[in-house]
Amino acid sequence: MARWTAVMALALAVCAAPALAIDPGKATGTLTTAQGAASLSHAYAMQYFNEEGLAEGPELRVLLTDRAVDRDLLSGPMLTALERVVRKGGVKGVVLRLDPKELNKVPVRGTLLIPPPTPRDGLLFFTIAGDSGGFESLKIGNNRVTGKAVFKSNAAEASAFAYEATFSAPLFKDDPSGRLIGRKAAESPPAQALLAFERSLRLGDLTGAGGYATATKMAEIDAYQAAVGPAVFLEEVAARTPDTRVREQQIQEVVLRGKRAYVIILEESGRTVAPLVHAEGTWQVD
């Protein structure tokens, strides 16, 4: 427990450190979709090193948006927080992922940051396999990423989109603030919160589960249960969520990123990650 307290103190200290006086990223360009045109005025860049093992390898992430957002939306193995902002109409733009060691190597993978037609639909993912990954220029130097991104899709009219923007952004590194492995991971507060959350779900106790999850996560669960019905929901929970003792053995590692934690789980079907956030003095599934 003393070691865990020290790790958390370091993690929170990293989050609380004063920000350096770095000029913000800027972009000049336009995103055009069936919903209309959006001016791309802000740029962000982050290098993610794939500690959780979900990506094919380390990634350079370039985010071009129509307004200012928190750069931490680019942090971690999953960009769920960014997707939620998009779904609420809080930002429009594109995020591009590429190999940081070979900037001219394709493919480049992207996500169109436009609210989908219905809440059940996902965001549009696309891959650029030619033309230098859609970059007319791209450079990293002096802790900045600069370039020009140009792409026009070949999709049907309703799904067609195009963007063109020059950008310059400070480059941040998504370094973990701590890592716990094996038994220490399974016994850590984030993992214990996850286990309690899953235990409540298996019992059909959504009120109890809410004590270990964010309001946003519970709203998503409530909406899904309403859509499929309580009986089907419980069947799916039982099929996807093993007994607590089994789950404890499946927990391989916990990666800490400031006030966020990612519990890495190794199941027979493969590797999965459960995200949590430290809020109101507790760890909550997010």
Give the gyration radius of the chain's Cα atoms: 20
Q: Mean per-residue pLDDT for 148-153?
A: 95
| pTM listed for this prediction | 0.84
Alpha helices in the chain (DSSP H): 2-16, 80-87, 183-186, 189-202, 206-210, 215-228, 230-240, 244-250
Return left, alpha or beta for 106; rule: phi > 0 is left, psi -120 to 50 is alpha, else beta.
beta
Q: Is 114 in the same domain as 73?
A: yes
Would you say residue 239 lies in a domain?
yes
What is the rounded CA–CA span in Å between residue 46 and residue 26? 14
Q: Is 168 in the same domain as 151?
A: yes
Q: Is 210 in the same domain as 164?
A: no
Q: Is 165 in the same domain as 182?
A: no
- Segment 153-203, tens digit of pLDDT: 987 766 899 999 999 999 999 999 999 999 999 999 999 999 999 999 999
Would you say residue 15 lies in a domain?
no
Q: How far is CA 46 from CA 22, 172, 195, in A?
A: 14, 5, 31
Give yes or no for residue 15 having a pLDDT over 70: no
Q: Is 50 in the same domain as 64?
A: yes
Would you say residue 37 lies in a domain?
yes
Would you say residue 18 lies in a domain?
no
Token duo for residue 10 = 């370091």
Residue 134: domain span = 24-173
- Which of 144, 173, 202 lies at the terminal end of a domain, its last residue? 173
pLDDT grade for 9, boundaries at 50, 70 and 90: very low
Give yes or no for residue 263 having a pLDDT over 70: yes
Give the pLDDT score at 166: 98
Q: Is 88 in the same domain as 210?
A: no
- Segment 237-262, tens digit of pLDDT: 999 999 999 999 999 999 999 999 99
Give the pLDDT score at 75: 95
Q: Is 156 in the same domain as 198?
A: no
- Domains: count for the chain: 2
Mean pLDDT (the chain, rounded): 90
- Which of 173, 205, 234 lies at the terminal end of a domain, its last residue? 173
Give the pLDDT score at 143: 93
Q: Is 74 in the same domain as 164?
A: yes
Q: Tokens 């370094």, residue?
A: 175
Q: Is 158 in the same domain as 31?
A: yes
- Segment 58-107, tens digit of pLDDT: 999 999 999 999 999 999 999 999 999 999 999 999 999 999 888 877 79
More confident residue, 259 or 19: 259
pLDDT grade for 3, boundaries at 50, 70 and 90: very low
Would you say residue 240 lies in a domain?
yes
Measured distance between the N- and C-terminal CA atoms of the chain, rounded to whole angstroms: 24
Give the pLDDT score at 226: 93
Q: Is 60 in the same domain as 41?
A: yes
Would you say residue 3 lies in a domain?
no
Hey, which residues does 60 pair with through a beta bridge?
A: 47, 98
Q: Is 66 in the same domain as 204?
A: no
Sheet containing 178-181, strands listed edge to edge, beginning at the edge strand earlier in sequence:
178-181, 251-257, 260-267, 270-279, 282-285
Q: Is 168 in the same domain as 182?
A: no
Would you say residue 8 lies in a domain?
no
Give yes or no for residue 8 having a pLDDT over 60: no
For residues 95 and 110, the answer to whether their CB atoms sit within 8 Å is yes
The candidate with the shortest Cα–Cα distance to 167, out of 14, 24, 1, is 24
Would you say residue 119 lies in a domain?
yes
Give the pLDDT score at 22: 67
What is the rounded CA–CA span in Å between residue 195 and residue 197? 5
